[in-house]
């Protein structure tokens, strides 16, 4: 019997695990960046698919699922909250427009207007929509 520990990895295997972890981190980052890009385009979350996110990242759908459970998990990783439904988005837009119309303080009104403008949600002056 020897005094050597029994659970020691062979020195040639340790770098492989490090390389694997680095590759996994690169895959995660590529998928995250592709998801953020597609979520920010017209159609946003609804239009983005796992397949389109994988293609934009240059990965397979399997690589996407190795990093994220589903599309909602990607959205949470990008924005820090769950995706909102179109109905929730309409209610939020309505609330921000109400703030602009009635005011709640200059700074908040400016923030609401900036958000609506950045997302193309300000009403069209010609149509009111």
What is the pTM (predicted TM-score) of this model? 0.60
Contact assessment for residue 61 and residue 39, using Cβ atoms and an 8 Å cutoff: no
Contact assessment for residue 44 and residue 50, using Cβ atoms and an 8 Å cutoff: no
Residue carrying the six token digits 């953020």:
36
- What is the tens place of the pLDDT at every residue in 22-44? 989 999 999 999 999 999 998 88
Question: Tell me, what's the pLDDT at 39?
Answer: 93
Average pLDDT, the chain: 81
Model confidence at 67: pLDDT above 60: yes
pLDDT > 70 fraction of the chain, expressed in percent and rounded: 78
Mean pLDDT of all residues in 50-68: 95
Distance of alpha carbon 10 from alpha carbon 30, whole angstroms: 31
Model confidence at 61: pLDDT above 90: yes
| Domains, in order of start, for the chain | 14-79 (1.10.10.60), 86-118 (no CATH)
Mean pLDDT of all residues in 85-95: 80
Distance of alpha carbon 61 from alpha carbon 47, whole angstroms: 16
For residue 57, give every residue at least 6 positions away whose Cβ sits within 8 Å of its Cβ, in sequence order, or none.
27, 30, 31, 33, 34, 35, 63, 64
pLDDT confidence bin for 81, thresholds 50/70/90 = confident
Closest CA to 76 of 45, 51, 55: 45
């Amino acid at each position: 019997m020897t005094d050597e520990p029994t659970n020691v990895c062979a020195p040639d295997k340790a770098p492989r695990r490090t390389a694997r972890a680095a590759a996994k981190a690169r895959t995660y980052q590529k998928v995250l960046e592709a998801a953020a890009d597609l979520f920010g385009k017209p159609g946003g979350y609804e239009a983005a698919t796992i397949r389109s996110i994988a293609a934009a990242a240059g990965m397979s759908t399997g690589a996407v699922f190795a990093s994220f459970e589903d599309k909602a998990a990607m959205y949470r990783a990008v924005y820090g909250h769950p995706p909102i439904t179109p109905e929730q988005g309409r209610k939020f837009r309505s609330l921000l427009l109400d703030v602009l119309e009635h005011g709640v303080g200059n700074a908040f009104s400016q923030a609401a207007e900036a958000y609506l403008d950045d997302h193309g949600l300000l009403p069209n002056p010609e149509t009111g929509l």
